């Protein structure tokens, strides 16, 4: 089987909308959400792209078919394509990135840093989001280092790289500070978590807006009191605008 005919498991493709978090917050984006994940975070808000119970909804698609859909949604006008999940790093996305680059599109990915891929070097933006204690997951720092090596393997070029953390409490905050100290050259983005992930088929699920804003204010006070001025504190903009609706 050639790279061009490898199937990518797709949960949904949607947009254009805006990126709701991290280094590209507010920027127009088409999302290609893959299906499958090697983590099971306690507060995951995309279970429809993670839990194997929904695997029958994930369509195996070739890169060219996916790309035709991106072109249709964007009207052929280049923008950023966000590869998300689940964990998109477990999918064979190299051919899709190469295809889109030929048309002048940019590619961003967010991953927990549990799987390193050589095609990380072809990205424009790589967001590594190690999961804090509240997720119930553990980070393998050696593999996360491998992700950075893969992204920077070429003598020149490579993606802009940043660290993003979901923060619920003091333990999560301490985790983020420790991780940032391990990678002092990378920009850091902090965002308050959302405690109320919806059922995958519930477009009208409510969010804990008061809790989110309380955590946002707490986080702002925390970083300023600690003089952690290198950190960028951001909301999940898409959650504030649309709650937990899918496809936005």
| Residue 151 is assigned to a structural domain of this protein | yes
- The pLDDT score that the predictor gives to residue 213 is 87
Task: Give pLDDT, residue 44.
Answer: 87
Confidence bin at 6 (pLDDT 50/70/90): confident
Reply yes or no on whether the pLDDT at 236 is more than 90: no
Residue that the structure tokens 């925390």 belong to:
222
Q: Is the pLDDT of residue 3 over 70?
A: no
Beta strands in the chain (DSSP E): 7-18, 28-34, 59-62, 80-84, 106-111, 125-128, 160-167, 188-192, 231-233
Q: Is residue 192 part of a domain?
A: yes
Mean pLDDT of 8-36: 92
Q: Tell me the per-residue pLDDT of 123-147, one tens digit each, with 9 for 90 and over.
A: 999 999 999 999 999 999 999 999 9
Structure tokens belonging to residue 29:
């984006």
pTM (two decimals): 0.89
| Mean pLDDT value across residues 194-218 | 69
Q: What is the pLDDT of residues 143-182, one digit of tens each?
A: 999 999 999 998 878 899 999 999 999 999 999 999 999 9
* Model confidence band, residue 242 (pLDDT cutoffs 50, 70, 90): low
Cis peptide before 203 (omega within 30 of 0): no
**218 within a domain of the structure (yes/no):** yes
Span 59-86, average pLDDT: 97
Query: Is 128 a domain residue?
Result: yes
Mean pLDDT, rounded, of the chain? 89
- Residue 230 belongs to what domain range? 3-242
Question: What CATH number does residue 98 fall under?
Answer: 3.20.20.70
In a domain, 178, yes or no: yes
77 neighbors 26 (Cβ within 8 angstroms): no
Residue 248 lies in a domain: no
Distances (CA, A) of 166 to 17, 50, 112: 22, 18, 11
pLDDT grade for 46, boundaries at 50, 70 and 90? confident
In a domain, 247, yes or no: no
In a domain, 111, yes or no: yes
**What is the structure's pLDDT at 26?**
87
Domain count, the chain: 1
């Amino acid at each position: 089987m050639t790279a061009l005919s490898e199937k990518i498991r797709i949960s949904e493709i949607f947009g254009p909308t805006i990126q709701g978090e991290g280094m590209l917050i507010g920027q127009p984006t088409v999302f290609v959400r893959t299906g499958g994940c090697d983590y099971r975070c306690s507060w995951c808000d995309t279970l429809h792209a993670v839990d194997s119970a929904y695997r029958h909804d994930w369509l195996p698609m070739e890169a060219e078919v996916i790309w035709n859909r991106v072109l249709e949604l964007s009207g052929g006008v280049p923008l950023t394509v966000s590869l998300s999940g689940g964990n998109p790093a477990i999918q064979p996305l190299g051919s899709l990135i190469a295809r889109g680059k030929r048309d002048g599109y940019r590619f961003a990915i967010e991953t927990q840093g549990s799987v390193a891929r050589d095609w990380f070097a072809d990205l424009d933006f790589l967001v590594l989001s190690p999961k804090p204690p509240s997720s119930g997951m553990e980070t393998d720092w050696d593999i996360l280092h491998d992700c950075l090596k893969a992204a920077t393997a070429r003598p020149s070029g490579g993606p802009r790289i940043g660290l993003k953390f979901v923060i619920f409490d003091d333990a999560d905050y301490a985790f983020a500070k420790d991780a940032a100290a391990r990678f002092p050259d990378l920009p850091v983005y902090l965002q308050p978590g959302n405690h109320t992930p919806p059922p995958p088929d519930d477009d009208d699920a409510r969010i804990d807006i008061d809790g989110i804003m309380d955590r946002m204010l707490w986080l702002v006070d925390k970083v300023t009191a600690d003089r952690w001025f290198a950190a960028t504190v951001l909301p999940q903009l898409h959650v504030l605008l649309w709650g937990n609706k899918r496809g936005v």
